[in-house]
């Protein structure tokens, strides 16, 4: 459930960014980097900081 919530939150932020700055929606690489950052690297960093 935690994993699903993380993906949903990432999705909501990405959609928000995309609507505000549609340029980001054209790049698969930026989309991929955003997802990895949101569901892998940031949670890892958060766990380390805690």
Partner 1 sequence: MSWVAHDVEPYVIQKHLGRRIAIVPLLLGSYAPDMASKWFVYGVGIFGLELKAAEPAQFHRGWPGVGFTHSLAFGLLVGALLLLVFRNRIWAVSFVIGQWAHALTDTLDTVGTMLLFPFTTHLFSLDAWAYAGQTGRYTDAGAYFSGLGFVWDGVFLVWTALSWRVLTRAYFRETVVPADPLWGKAGRYLSETTLVAVYRISFFYGACRWIAWLLWAHVVRSFAFDLSWGGPKWVPAVRSEELNAQAGACSTCHCPSCGAASPKLALAAAVAVGGRVATVRSQRRARRSTRRR
- If we measure between CA atoms, which residue out of 49, 48, 50, 47 comes closest to residue 2? 47
Name 13's Cβ contacts closer than 8 Å, sequence gap at least 6: 38
Distance of closest approach, residue 25 Cβ to partner 1, in angstroms: 5
Distance of closest approach, residue 48 Cβ to partner 1, in angstroms: 14
Cα four-point dihedral sign 27, 33, 21, 12: positive
Task: Verify binding: residue 32, partner 1, rule CB under 8 A.
Answer: yes
Task: Verify binding: residue 19, partner 1, rule CB under 8 A.
Answer: yes
- Residues near partner 1 (CB under 8 A) are 3, 7, 10-11, 14-15, 18-19, 22, 25-26, 28, 31-32, 35-36, 39-40
């Amino acid at each position: 459930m935690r994993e699903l919530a993380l993906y949903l939150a990432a999705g909501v932020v990405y959609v928000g960014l995309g609507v505000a700055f549609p340029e980001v929606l054209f790049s698969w690489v930026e989309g991929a980097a955003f997802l990895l950052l949101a569901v892998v690297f940031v949670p890892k960093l958060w766990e380390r900081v805690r």
